């Protein structure tokens, strides 16, 4: 069974890119074939894997807006076996405007990924910090959405807008089956009251959707991004790497349960 997950939250700096990178690496360690898709023009995911595309090499932009560029041609290997990347660069910032005039503007990514999806067990899409057309494309292409939520006092504020967007994507027929797969608490700091409050409130509001795994706040992630490596490569034995491995287990159990409950 194959899964396409959009990692989305319109707030920046909440751990989307870190989650795509670390969860992707952790899933690949368990033997899954994983494709990461960089859908943010800031290209932090690509840079986090040491990929800096400044030449004419195909990127996700060409897959979305280029004519006749095969999706496969944009896929790059990474230092992890079974972990591949479709990179982005700043060119992607033009895609939102170019896609507006397309007939199937919400489904450009879905159609691009359909060329390659059978080769992967998991496809993780790193969304930009907005609810614009790129994020809508991710929600149209995905079976599920995973929402990283930073444990800070304003964390819940954007949640309603995000849930409204998910509901619109469902009700307008763009993707009627889009599931909220899970909410991941990130940057948890046990010393702050705000962290505990957010954790309690989110668990109360979404009792069956919040992952049991909580990602703690640690500078290890900054060191890893400076080194252009996933935390699982930079500090493989760290608590931070271990937390994303636990999340990968939890996610796979959750996906299996959901497949079984659909089949029942
Ligand atoms: N659990 C964490 N603890 C501390 N810093 C983190 C954590 N997760 C991510 N970061 C750092 O926070 C910054 C923003 O994270 P990032 O994943 O890029 O967020 P987003 O993609 O949502 O904008 C990055 O510098 C990253 O290294
Ligand atoms: Mg990001």
Q: How far apart are CA 162 and CA 65, in angstroms?
A: 26
Query: Tens-digit pLDDT profile for the chain (264 aa)?
Result: 799 999 999 999 999 999 999 999 999 999 999 999 999 999 999 999 999 887 778 999 999 998 788 999 999 999 999 999 999 999 999 999 999 988 889 999 999 999 999 999 999 999 999 999 999 999 999 999 999 999 998 888 889 999 999 999 999 999 999 999 999 999 999 999 999 999 999 999 999 999 999 999 999 999 999 999 999 999 999 999 999 999 999 999 999 988 777 776
Please give the distance, rounded to the nearest whole angstrom, from the Cα atom of residue 106 to the centre of ligand 1.
Answer: 28
CB 169 within 8 A of CB 139: yes
Beta bridge partners of 148: 184
Closest CA to 62 of 44, 45, 77, 74: 74
> How much is the pTM?
0.97
Task: For ligand 1, pick from 8, 10, 15 the residue to mutate: most ligand atoms within 8 Å of CB.
Answer: 15
Residue of minimum CA distance from atom 16 in ligand 1: 15
For the chain, how many residues are written?
A: 264
56-79 burial, b if ≥16 CB within 10 A, otherwise e?
eebbbbbbbbeeebebeebbbebe
Q: Say yes or no: CB of residue 14 within 6 Å of ligand 1.
A: yes
Task: Using alpha carbons only, give the angle 6, 24, 156 rounded to the nearest 5 degrees.
Answer: 45
């Amino acid at each position: 069974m194959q899964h396409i997950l959009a990692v989305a939250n319109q707030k920046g700096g909440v751990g989307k890119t870190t989650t795509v990178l670390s969860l992707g690496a952790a899933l690949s360690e368990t033997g899954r074939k994983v494709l990461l898709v960089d859908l943010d023009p800031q290209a932090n995911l690509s840079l986090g894997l040491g990929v800096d595309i400044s030449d004419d090499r195909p990127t996700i932009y060409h897959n979305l807006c280029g004519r006749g560029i095969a999706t496969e041609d944009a896929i790059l290997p990474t230092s992890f076996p079974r972990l591949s990347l479709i990179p982005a660069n700043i060119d992607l910032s033009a895609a939102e405007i170019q896609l507006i005039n397309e007939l199937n503007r919400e489904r450009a990514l879905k159609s691009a990924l359909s060329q390659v999806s059978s080769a992967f067990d998991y496809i993780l899409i790193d969304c930009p910090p907005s609810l614009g057309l790129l994020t809508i494309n991710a929600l149209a292409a995905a079976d599920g959405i995973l929402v990283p939520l930073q444990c800070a006092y304003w964390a819940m504020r954007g949640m309603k807008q995000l849930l409204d967007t998910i509901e619109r994507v469902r009700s307008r027929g763009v993707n009627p089956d889009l599931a909220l797969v899970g909410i991941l608490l990130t940057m948890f700091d046990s010393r702050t009251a705000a962290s505990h409050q957010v954790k309690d409130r989110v668990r109360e509001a979404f009792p069956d959707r919040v992952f049991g795994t909580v990602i703690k706040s640690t500078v290890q992630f900054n060191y890893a991004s400076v080194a252009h490596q996933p935390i699982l490569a930079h500090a493989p034995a760290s608590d931070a790497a271990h937390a994303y491995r636990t999340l990968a287990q939890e996610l796979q159990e959750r996906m299996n349960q959901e497949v079984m409950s659909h089949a029942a």
